[in-house]
Chain A
Amino acid sequence: MNTMGDFWVVNAGAAVPVVAYQLVSLILFFAGIYGFLTRRNIMMMLISVELILNAADINFAVFNRYLYPGQMDGMFFALFTIAIAACETAVAIAIIINVYRNFGNADVDNLKKMKG
């Protein structure tokens, strides 16, 4: 029996070790954290958040692949996260546009003025 799942398990398992995936994920994650904490531009911070989300997605896919090769839960979760991230980005961009219109730039410090 040569199903689609089996094909992935057999071929992927031999090619790349898990640590390699983990390394990529780790780099992406901390690149995202670093960007989020240091960038002043909200757009850049949003991109950083996307990086963090992608790091999480990679982890979902990899661990699903290695721990439960017969199941697809992790894959679906990754897809689900991508969908949520798309929505979140749409909302965030709407906010950013408004911030830009009001303040003339997209600097995150502007948002301090919104506190009560």
Chain B
Amino acid sequence: MEYTLLILLFPLTSFIVLGLFSNRLSHKAAGIIGTGALLAMTLLSFYAAWDYFTTPKAEGFYQTLIPFNTPWLHMGSHLHIDMGILLDPISVMMLVVISTVSLMVHIYSLGYMKGEKGFQRYYGFLSLFTFSMMGLVLSTNIFQMYIFWELVGVSSYLLIGFYYTRPEAVAASKKAFIVTRFADMFFLIGILVLSYYTQTFDFGTLMSGNETIFQHALSTRFLGASALVWAMALIFIGGAGKSALFPLHIWLPDAMEGPTPVSALIHAATMVVAGVYLVARLFPIYVAFTPEVLEGIAWVGAFTSMFAAVIAIVQTDIKRVLAFSTISQIGFMMVALGVSKLEGHEGLGYMASLFHLFTHAMFKALLFLGAGSIIHAVHSNEMERMGGLRTYMPVTHLTFLVACLSIAGIPPFSGFFSKDEILAAIYGYHTGLGIWMTVAAGFTAFYIFRLYFSIFWGKQTQYAHTPHESPRSMTFPLIFLAIPTLLGGFIPFGHFVTANRSVYTIHPDWPIMFISVLVSLTAIFIARKMYQYAGTKTGEASSGLKGFQKAAYHRFYVDEVYLFITKKILFNGIARAFAWFDHHVVDGSINGLASVTDWVSIKIRGFQSGEIQWYAYIFLFGTLLITALFLFM
């Protein structure tokens, strides 16, 4: 299966061509090159997926295939960083997800970004992102993954800051880059600790089930935990930064300053689930050696999903609602991974998490692209400015509704199946956590239908010019993504991706299904009552909840806490001392040297008067002095 190398080369070539010749290409040519390369890559990815899953299994287990691997950098005698391609069920599943969503976003952007300045640059960055993301999921070792991880971060930064003339976009791109980079620092430390004790970067070696390589890491203890626990926890922090888990979620809502298709691709469907993918990739180590870290992941995920869902209820910018929804859904995936075990029915959480990753990528991309279509028509992000759009934009309305029903967990849409598997896995682990997540799921249904009813129903808003349905290049991706959103739940996902790679047949858990559907329907009903006709806007809440609502609207002041820590403590306290040292000691010594030289040269300048006779006097007396010295000494 060496042809999988082409999956990486298509977007890379497209990026290089678009990057080098962006000024000489017309918008149309750039769009064709970018989308064409993506189409070829998508077809190849689908073929690779078909090829992989039809390859005969060894004793009922999917094999790990490494069609290409080459040593790239040698570090010491044992350690070397390779570059290669690894195919296993999760990476192949990610290939399908990324290529599908990316292709749809490329097609959508042809319409959405039409006539924008920097159209070629936009497609170049999209290609770079797709290349990096593909490289990330196909990595054979954790260091290669880290390299592509950073590339993904930088392309995200470039695309958030695409409208570089707008200060908000620039600030948002910096924020996203710095926050994720801060988390990646922990990731890197984790990688170094892990590789120091195990003497390998290679996923194959780490997953081989050979316990001896972890002996050293397990026996070394630091601050009450083994080195392996530290390494895995630090690696998870890297994943938490990319996946916007509390408290590192602050960059994602701001990242919505980028073009909407970018939000759909990077900040909803693919890059932000990199953290989930990372934990899933290292899952055998987590579950076998560091179950305490896995438990921590579950609690962080559970808190994040509830926290973000509450905030999403009161946001007024539709893209912000969707951003917090993404954070919340990633929380669901993380919880499912956290409660999972390896074998059989206990490994349900792992399967459910990646199933939800798959369905979420489809319906959240659909939601974002739908939101882009609405913004395109209304020229505003604010829900206050929308209402009654269902008559103007029938295609957008219907596909958006499908996605809303899916995320709310209404059968038979895809989100229902994956979310139910997650809830079933959580109830199997801890009933209290299950109830907590059911409530979060109810909130999800509420905020998404609040969004839906305020945009498409609600009061009739006066528009500056009548909104119209988007061009075909934008509605086609909506319709295309609606198909997996409608039918994705019927994919026998357990036959493809499971924790131990054998086949697992999903058994529906009727009571849990019944409860979660009931909760979702109730939430939708309340949302309908509040927003369908009355047009209750976000400013109104019952008096008892006013304070809470205000806090949630301000995202529970997490950003302010960050600002306090960075500005007040870091900048004013610590940085000021360093600045003083820099100004007075480092600069001072250099300036002192310069001023001493200056002073001395002013003093000696008198000798260089240019008066020959004065020189001659000095010369004469110098000679006499030397002569006298020779004579009398």
Contact = CB atoms under 8 A, between A and B. Distances in A.
The judgment on whether A and B are partners is: yes
A108 B612 contact: yes
A112 B620 contact: no
A37 B610 contact: no
A115 B610 contact: yes
Contacts of B612: 45, 108, 111
Interface of B: 608-613, 616-617, 620
A108 B609 contact: no
A37 B610 CA distance: 14
A33 interface: yes
Contacts of A37: 613, 616-617, 620
Contacts of A114: 610
Nearest to A42: B612
B611 A109 contact: yes
3 pairs of A and B residues whose beta carbons are closest in the complex: A115-B610, A112-B610, A37-B613
24 contacts: A33-B620, A36-B613, A36-B616, A37-B613, A37-B616, A37-B617, A37-B620, A38-B613, A45-B612, A45-B613, A108-B611, A108-B612, A108-B613, A109-B611, A111-B610, A111-B612, A112-B609, A112-B610, A112-B611, A113-B610, A114-B610, A115-B608, A115-B609, A115-B610
Interface centre among A37, A111, A113 (most CB of B within 10 A): A37
A74 to B, nearest CB: 22
A37 B156 CA distance: 80
- Interface SS of chain B: helix
Nearest to B613: A37
Interface centre among B612, B616, B617 (most CB of A within 10 A): B612
Contacts of B613: 36-38, 45, 108
A37 to B, nearest CB: 5
Contacts of A38: 613
Interface centre among B608, B611, B613 (most CB of A within 10 A): B613
A109 B613 CA distance: 9
Interface residues of A, number: 12
Contacts of B616: 36-37
Interface of A: 33, 36-38, 45, 108-109, 111-115
A38 B612 CA distance: 11
Contacts of A115: 608-610
Contacts of B608: 115
A108 B614 CA distance: 11
A38 B611 CA distance: 12
Contacts of A111: 610, 612
A91 B417 CA distance: 105
A63 B41 CA distance: 102
Given A36-B613, A37-B617, A111-B612, 10 more contacts: A37-B620, A45-B613, A108-B611, A108-B613, A109-B611, A111-B610, A112-B609, A112-B611, A113-B610, A114-B610
A113 B608 CA distance: 12
B614 to A, nearest CB: 9
Contacts of B609: 112, 115
Contacts of A112: 609-611
B619 to A, nearest CB: 10
A108 B612 CA distance: 8
A37 B619 CA distance: 11
Nearest to A36: B616
A109 to B, nearest CB: 7
A38 B617 CA distance: 10
A115 B607 CA distance: 12
A36 B617 CA distance: 10
Nearest to A114: B610
A49 to B, nearest CB: 10
Nearest to B617: A37
A45 to B, nearest CB: 8
Contacts of A45: 612-613
Nearest to B611: A112
Nearest to B620: A33
